[in-house]
Amino acid sequence: MTNLTADSVAELFVGAVSLAKNGEKVSPRGMETREVLDVHMRLTQPRARLLYAPPSRVINPAFAVAETVWHLSGSDAPWIFDYNAQLRKFADDGVLRGAYGPRMRNWAGKVDQLHRVVEILKEDPDSRRALIQLYDPAQDAAGHKDVPCTLGFRFHLRGGRLHMSTTMRGQDVWIGMPYDLFFYTTLHELVAGWLDAEVGEYHHHVGSLHIYDRHLDDADGLLEVTASAVMPELTTKWEGFGDLLDQVEARDVTGHPGWDAMAATMRSYRLWKDGLHEQAWRVADTINGPLGQALVGWYGELDRRAKASARRVEAAAR
């Protein structure tokens, strides 16, 4: 087993990319890939969850937020495509069959696993049974395009601190990891809050840590990454949590500073997608903390891409 430890997602990302780049060559489903098997990553400050690594890797924080809200609310609704249209190619009949939300919040139409985790640890703080299972052979052997990379989550409450472990069959370090860790560590923080516990360590266990060959050139340009700032608290009461998520999905004000920043991030990005770029910039400038900084950085990246595309078109027309 290979072990990586870092204080922030940014630091963890740098180490994981370096490791994957030097992995063995494999080609699952015909895609040339570098892979390292059996990797354990440990994040000591789970709230330092946002990656910003220009110019090589700039993530869309609005998608990170939207996906997190989508998962937590138990949804597989197609509104998530408004924040990442690339996901459509993994859908069957317009639905992502591997969506985590329904499995986590309504397994087999019966079990809210997230609520059950909180109940178990309130009843028995030393329990080893606080689990959320995501991989479902009954569904995932059916040949759908979208099969969960995440197998499940485990929670251990020890000494007043909640530790969380995620187990993954595979982790695409370049594209998926920054977004995955944003959601997982938000989940970690929320469960800790519902248990009146401190946020402990986050552990990330990966069967296949990999990077696709098409991303190697970009990864070679990853020279230095600034450590992620700790994000504002998202802790909230369980009662009314569903209503709060509905408000954030609707991009409304919630009255909770951390979640208001999440809602504003989604609101700003929808303005951008509607072509109202100046309004989107203005909203982004009002968002305090790492999310606002990341959103401004993302818009700068989109502007850079648009200008590069225009130059290519102009050159082709000569």
Identity of residue 195: L
* Nearest to 72, CA basis, from 245, 267, 264: 245
Gap between the Cα atoms of 213 and 217, Å rounded: 8
What is the structure's pLDDT at 76?
97
What is the structure's pLDDT at 209?
98
What is the structure's pLDDT at 316?
78
In this prediction, residue 315 has a pLDDT band, given cuts at 50, 70 and 90, of confident
What is the structure's pLDDT at 317?
77
Residue 174 has pLDDT above 80, yes or no: yes
What is the structure's pLDDT at 296?
95
Gap between the Cα atoms of 13 and 216, Å rounded: 14
Percent of the chain with pLDDT over 70: 100
**Cα–Cα distances in Å, from 266 out to 22, 54, 77, 118, 296?**
36, 21, 16, 28, 13
Q: The whole model's pTM is what?
A: 0.96
Question: Exposed (0-12), middle (13-18) or buried (19+): which is 29, by Cβ within 10 Å?
Answer: exposed
Name, in order, each residue with C-beta under 8 angstroms of 279's C-beta and a sequence gap of 6 or more.
271
Residue 308 has pLDDT above 90, yes or no: no
Residue 318 has pLDDT above 90, yes or no: no
Per the structure, the count of domains in the chain is: 1
25-33, long-range: CB < 8 A, 24+ apart? 26/210, 31/212, 31/213, 32/212, 32/213, 32/214, 33/210, 33/211, 33/212, 33/213
Question: Angle at the Cα of 163 (from 160 to 169), degrees rounded to 5?
Answer: 165
Gap between the Cα atoms of 210 and 34, Å rounded: 5
How large is the average pLDDT for residues 270-277? 97
Gap between the Cα atoms of 169 and 37, Å rounded: 10
Gap between the Cα atoms of 304 and 97, Å rounded: 34
What is the structure's pLDDT at 132?
98
Percent of the chain with pLDDT over 90: 89
Identity of residue 131: L
Side-chain half-sphere exposure of 239, counting CA atoms within 13 A? 0
HEC assignment per residue over 233-281? CCCCCCCCHHHHHHHHHCCCCCCCHHHHHHHHHHHHHHHHHCCCHHHHH
Tokens of residue 280, six digits = 């989107």
**Cα–Cα distances in Å, from 164 out to 67, 85, 212, 288?**
20, 30, 28, 28
Write phi, then psi, for 286 (nearest 5 degrees).
-90, -10
Q: What is the CATH number of the domain that holds 206?
A: 3.30.572.10
Gyration radius (Cα) of the chain, Å: 19
* Nearest to 191, CA basis, from 135, 134, 132, 243: 132
Gap between the Cα atoms of 254 and 252, Å rounded: 6
Per the structure, the complete domain to which residue 39 belongs is given by 2-317
Residue 239 has pLDDT above 80, yes or no: yes
In this prediction, residue 312 has a pLDDT band, given cuts at 50, 70 and 90, of confident
User: Which residue carries 């370090």 as its tokens?
Assistant: 173
CB 209 within 8 A of CB 3: no
In this prediction, residue 255 has a pLDDT band, given cuts at 50, 70 and 90, of very high
**Per-position DSSP letters for 23-84, written without gaps between them:** SEEE-GGG--EEEEEEEEEEES-TT----EETTTEE--HHHHHHHHHHHHTT---GGGGGT-
